[in-house]
Amino acid sequence: MAASERRRHRLRTGLLTLLTGFSALLVALLAAATNLATNAVPQQFTPWTEDPSWTWGTTTVLATLVILVGVALQRLSSPEPARPAAARTAELDSVNPAHNLSPRDPAFIGRDAVFERIEAELRDGPVAVVAMHGLGGMGKSAIALELAYRGHESGRYSIAWWIHAETESTLVEDISELAPILGLSVSDDQDQTVKEVRAALRNRNDWLIVFDNVADPDAVRPWLPGGSGATLITSRFRGWSKLAVQVDLDRFTREESLAYLAGTVERYDPAAANELAQVLGDLPLALVQAAGYLDRRDLPIERYLELYRDRDAAGRLLAEAVDGYPDSVATTWLLHYDQLAEDEPAALQLLRLCAFLDPEDIDLDLLLSVPELLPPELVATASPIDYERVVGELARANLVTRMDKNRIRLHRLVSQVTRLQLEASAGEWALLAATLVNRLFPIHSHEPSQWPRCALLAAHASSVIEHNESLAVSDAQARALYDRLGVYLQTQVDGDVDVSSLGPADWRISPVRSRYSHQIQRIAPKMLAGRDRELADLAAFTTSEDEPSYLWLRAGAGSGKTALLAWFALHPPAGVRVVSFFVSARWAGQSDRSAFVENVIEQLVEILGQPMPAPLSEATHEAHLHALLEEAAQACRSRGERLVLLVDGLDEDRGGHTGSDAHSIAALLPTHPPRGLRIIVADRPNSAFPADVPAHHSLRVPGIVRPLTLNPDGGTKYLLAEMKQELRSLLGAVGNQEVLGLITAAGGGLTVTDLAEITDTPAEALQDLINGCSFTKRSEGDRPPVYQLAHEQMHETVLQILGPRRIAKYRDALHSWADSYRVRKWPEDTPDYLLSTYPRMLHQYADVARLVDYVTDVARHDRMRQRFGGDAAAISEVDRALKAVAKCDNADLFKRLVARRKALQ
């Protein structure tokens, strides 16, 4: 409509020019006619002038034409008459719905939390101006476009107008084109047109204006319409708090990444899609690029991953054009690099150096503490004000995320594209990073006093070594760093082994396969009745903003505490992510700090979409756990979620006693949890408080303890009494004792078939025995159900009555049973227990020689791969065995485990 108005304006101008020339000609002709009429003409024209009717008639016609042309000129050149304000407002209100939005993206998916936040701010805020900022490629424009379409189609916004705000000229032109929609004429003076458009918008409230890709607040401030309509700004930069409500945009969640790929990739494979999302860091634009590449070439995702692993191919893939998008991932960020090179060279140098470090946690104070090794531009950042200027510029562009005053994090693709942008100079930067980290890494990395510093730098050392190897550059500094890292890693596993035979990646990562949810499903009841009040209290604690960080539930045996918390862990409120650990002696290897750290970290890295770290030493447990908790809490906050850590059974912690050598799970919990994290712990009343919990720990605040009562009908207490009575009856018969002893010694569920095979008893005879209330049955998929004692007190009672000697005899029976399958090379009917839980039982009882024999058995791992899919379970049990062997002085066992770990990796 704006184009047609311009055409009418040009037509009017042309007519004015034509009529002006025509009027001049008429005036000349009129003068000639007048001369004719008055006989003031030369002799040769006298034959015509002698006829008065002809001369006076011609003069009259010409005079009339002059008058008509003058009237036309006056009307064309006059402005439109002013109209009353009421009439003008009525005309504006009658404007038909209109938009200038580009075509809608049919593949748009997810982002519900972002939509809810923006729509709430636009609807409820005192000033409806929202600025959505984030790293280039996060999908800001896509979200704004989808939001504009939704608002326009719903009727909320009669006008949805898109303004390209990269430059002032495009901004002014797009605003001017809104004039005809509002019933305004388009003036030659664009500034005047824009002024009139903004004034007209202030009289309406049914519009949404999107200023896309704004550089900074000053670039858009003079052009904001104001009034009661809605304004949405997208920007790659921070710093909008004084002008608008800021909305930080993060990457896709893993679920959103997989949903997008499932909807756009024809040859979709879930496992490969998960790996692709991982390597692309869940960056929306990178996923769009990958999906387009796969679609155009009809390739499976696995092939894209193969190409991406090659450095040169990865660079070309990231620079691939994207249909419907102005820039690729690479070109999106190259604009930042060019701008930094011009405006803040030190910031670009810092980004290049950080690109060769581990991107997840970079301590800038430590990194910049060796000025003699730094580029000249970075040496100038020694003063606090220069430091804040340089780091602030990277943060403003969303190229880094500030974790606290001195620590930053990079998106993995930012690191990768930064390295690729260096091209031929990448090797020089890789060597500089290796030299710097080697200078910072302690020379005597075997000494315990140096381990905290080593732990802080180990991931960076591994990263720079990896980049040096991939770029085929190395020098004495890089080799020295390799040796120091190896010595430190040896001290952490306390083994006599040549670590240099392993690549750095072998020590840093292993595949992530979160399996703890299956453990919770074994514990949780199938139905939970009569606990609505307690569930509501838990929901209020985890979702409210004004609750303390800790909640400590205390309840006696039979209260249903564990069942309640397991149910809550599996069915949390909307927007709550629960990471849990249930301390239990009934399950092998589930009642100490090591099990707690392993299972909690496994759940945290799944939330973060990160790989599982290598086995951690006792010295690094706490620091690594706390770092992941903080990072996961921050990630959940950015997605509008709340992270909850739930730990049940602190009284059953084998390290949680009152002696001076206590090593409790409670002491590993954060003294002051990070923002966005809530922690629920539970135990029995009057349990001893672990001696290693610091005096200033939040667990020692009395106000966090709440009693948990029995169900109102007392049903749980009655059931517990019935269990004890049945248990005493079972223990009275020798055959029953054997079944109870085997289930107790196994430390995990055995099937009826397993028990029948070990005891040489018909399965039918055992089925009646274990159908009583003393046992609980759990099924997973189509696998046979496994049986376990129904309550922790039952487990403790059997241990006390049977005693250590008889329990050891039942363990020997389990060993003989396992050996029979090992001799047969683990046939297809090998019980699940022997492929999963049995090594945990060996670990719990420190039977390290037998443990190493089983977890290094290649045929057993082949059967596990066939049964469970992949090597994740095998890698996990080897890692646990490494921890167990590290506590004893046996280099041969350790070497066997390292060799098997390397083969699996």
How sure is the predictor about 757, in pLDDT bands with cuts at 50, 70 and 90? very high
C-alpha–C-alpha distance, residues 266 and 487, integer Å: 48
Burial of 495 (0-12, 13-18, 19+ CB in 10 A): buried
Q: Is the pLDDT of residue 721 over 70?
A: no
Is 501 among the domain residues? no
| Judgement on whether residues 703 and 723 belong to the same structural domain of the protein | no
If you average pLDDT over residues 361-386, what whole number do you get?
Answer: 82
Is 90 among the domain residues? no
How sure is the predictor about 83, in pLDDT bands with cuts at 50, 70 and 90? very low
Query: Which of residues 248, 268, 283 is at a domain's end?
Result: 248
Predicted local confidence at residue 861, as pLDDT: 92
Burial of 750 (0-12, 13-18, 19+ CB in 10 A): buried
* Of 246, 229, 237, 241, residue with least CA distance to 127: 229
| Judgement on whether residues 56 and 174 belong to the same structural domain of the protein | no
- Half-sphere exposure (CA, 13 Å, Cβ side) for 475? 12
- Tallying the residues shown for the chain, one arrives at 905
* Most confident among 314-323, 340-349, 489-498, 815-824 (mean pLDDT): 815-824
**H helix or E strand, kind and range, residue 679:** strand 677-683
SS3 of 806, please? helix
b (16+ CB within 10 A) / e for 297-333: eebebeebeeebeeeeebbebbbeebeebebbbbbbb
Predicted local confidence at residue 679, as pLDDT: 95
Contact criterion met (CB below 8 Å) for 691 and 660: yes
| Judgement on whether residues 163 and 270 belong to the same structural domain of the protein | no
How sure is the predictor about 663, in pLDDT bands with cuts at 50, 70 and 90? confident
C-alpha–C-alpha distance, residues 385 and 393, integer Å: 12
| Judgement on whether residues 727 and 797 belong to the same structural domain of the protein | yes
| Judgement on whether residues 671 and 729 belong to the same structural domain of the protein | no
Query: Which of residues 472, 493, 514 is at a domain's end?
Result: 493
How large a percentage of the chain has pLDDT more than 90? 9
Q: Are strands 775-778 and 786-789 parallel, antiparallel or unpaired?
A: antiparallel
Query: CA separation (Å) from 179 to 5, 76, 811, 815?
Result: 10, 21, 86, 85
Is 94 among the domain residues? no
| Judgement on whether residues 213 and 267 belong to the same structural domain of the protein | no
- Residue 246 β-bridge partners: 131
List, edge to edge, every strand of the sheet that includes 230-235.
98-99, 159-164, 207-212, 230-235, 129-133, 245-248
Is 177 among the domain residues? yes
Predicted local confidence at residue 859, as pLDDT: 92
Q: Which residues fall within 8 angstroms of residue 637, CB to CB, at 6 or more apart?
A: 675, 676
Quick one: CA dihedral 777, 781, 784, 786, positive or negative?
A: negative
Predicted local confidence at residue 703, as pLDDT: 79
Predicted local confidence at residue 875, as pLDDT: 85
- Half-sphere exposure (CA, 13 Å, Cβ side) for 580? 29
Predicted local confidence at residue 550, as pLDDT: 92
The phi-psi region of residue 681 (left if phi > 0; otherwise alpha if psi is between -120 and 50; otherwise beta) is: beta
Range of 269's domain? 254-318
Cα 24 from chain centroid (whole Å): 75
pLDDT digits (tens, 9 = 90+) for 498-548: 333 333 333 332 323 345 666 777 677 766 767 778 888 899 899 888 778
As given in the structure block, the two tokens for residue 905 are 């990796």
C-alpha–C-alpha distance, residues 782 and 886, integer Å: 38
The domain that contains 700 carries what CATH number? Answer: 3.40.50
Q: Is the pLDDT of residue 496 over 50?
A: no
C-alpha–C-alpha distance, residues 835 and 861, integer Å: 8
Name which residue leads in pLDDT, 713 or 755.
755
Count of domains observed in the chain: 6
Q: Is the pLDDT of residue 777 over 80?
A: no
| Judgement on whether residues 108 and 133 belong to the same structural domain of the protein | yes
Is 503 among the domain residues? no
| Judgement on whether residues 242 and 267 belong to the same structural domain of the protein | no
pLDDT digits (tens, 9 = 90+) for 474-494: 666 777 788 788 777 766 654
How sure is the predictor about 343, in pLDDT bands with cuts at 50, 70 and 90? confident
Question: What average pLDDT does the structure give for the chain?
Answer: 76
C-alpha–C-alpha distance, residues 404 and 361, integer Å: 10
Instruction: Report which DSSP code applies to 277.
Output: H
Predicted local confidence at residue 812, as pLDDT: 92
First to last CA, the chain: 64
Query: Which of residues 450, 474, 493 is at a domain's end?
Result: 493
pLDDT digits (tens, 9 = 90+) for 35-80: 554 454 455 555 555 565 655 566 566 556 656 656 565 555 544 4
Cα 694 from chain centroid (whole Å): 33
Is 502 among the domain residues? no
**Which residue carries 């909640």 as its tokens?**
551
Predicted local confidence at residue 526, as pLDDT: 65
Is 86 among the domain residues? no
Predicted local confidence at residue 599, as pLDDT: 86
Q: Taking CA 822 as the corner, what is the angle to CA 821 and CA 825, rounded to the nearest 5 degrees? A: 90
**Which residue carries 């090597």 as its tokens?**
871
| Judgement on whether residues 546 and 691 belong to the same structural domain of the protein | yes
Q: Which residues fall within 8 angstroms of residue 659, CB to CB, at 6 or more apart?
A: 691
Predicted local confidence at residue 656, as pLDDT: 62
| Judgement on whether residues 528 and 609 belong to the same structural domain of the protein | yes
Q: Is the pLDDT of residue 693 over 80?
A: yes
| Judgement on whether residues 887 and 755 belong to the same structural domain of the protein | yes
Is 769 among the domain residues? yes
Predicted local confidence at residue 108, as pLDDT: 81
Name which residue leads in pLDDT, 42 or 150.
150
Cα 642 from chain centroid (whole Å): 14
How sure is the predictor about 817, in pLDDT bands with cuts at 50, 70 and 90? very high
| Judgement on whether residues 869 and 826 belong to the same structural domain of the protein | yes
Phi, psi of 158 (to 5 degrees): -65, -35
Predicted local confidence at residue 779, as pLDDT: 61
Name which residue leads in pLDDT, 28 or 791.
791
